[in-house]
Amino acid sequence: MSVRKIVTLPEPVLKRKAHTVTKFDKNLQALIDDMIETMRAAPGVGLAAPQIGLSERIIVIEYLENEENEEDEDKEDAPKKVWAVLNPEIIKRSEETLTGVEGCLSIPNLVGEVERHAAVQVKGLNRHGKPMKLKAKGWLARIFQHEIDHLNGVLFTERATHVWRPSDEIEPEQEV
């Protein structure tokens, strides 16, 4: 396993629709492992293949499913769940939407307010090519939507209603 370089704007691969994955071999398994290691090293909660310069429909996400439950005092020690989804597609979306602050490893030093569906259902293939479906809500649903957007060449800044540098909000008197 190795940490890959995360590409940033204006890299063209970030604006292209990624190709469907059709070959499930040891090279794909190594790529998925590299993506997980890269996401953790960044650190991030999700990573799409275009973010490492590959136009492939692959996302990896690592998240503590009940992370939003602040009453859980042991959440730092709880294991996070890792998803590797190939050719993911959102097949159901809640009518309810939520606005939240997002950032992106491929757009460093910017965050923005983005409205996303509160819950989604995603279908795709697992790392071995077997069909899978999952339901996600809250922050996890936001992560899936963000990463799937990457596969379609859409960046969070295109969906954001307001974009800023994080230090702008913390220390507004400071010049950028």
Q: Catalytic residue, from 147, 158, 173, 175: name it.
A: 147
Instruction: Examine the residue annotation and report whether 147 is marked as an active-site residue of this protein.
Output: yes
- The count of C-alpha atoms lying within 13 angstroms of the C-alpha of 52, restricted to the half-sphere facing its C-beta, is 23
The encoded tokens of residue 42 equal 């960044």
> Strand pairing partners for 48?
59
| Residues forming the active site | 147
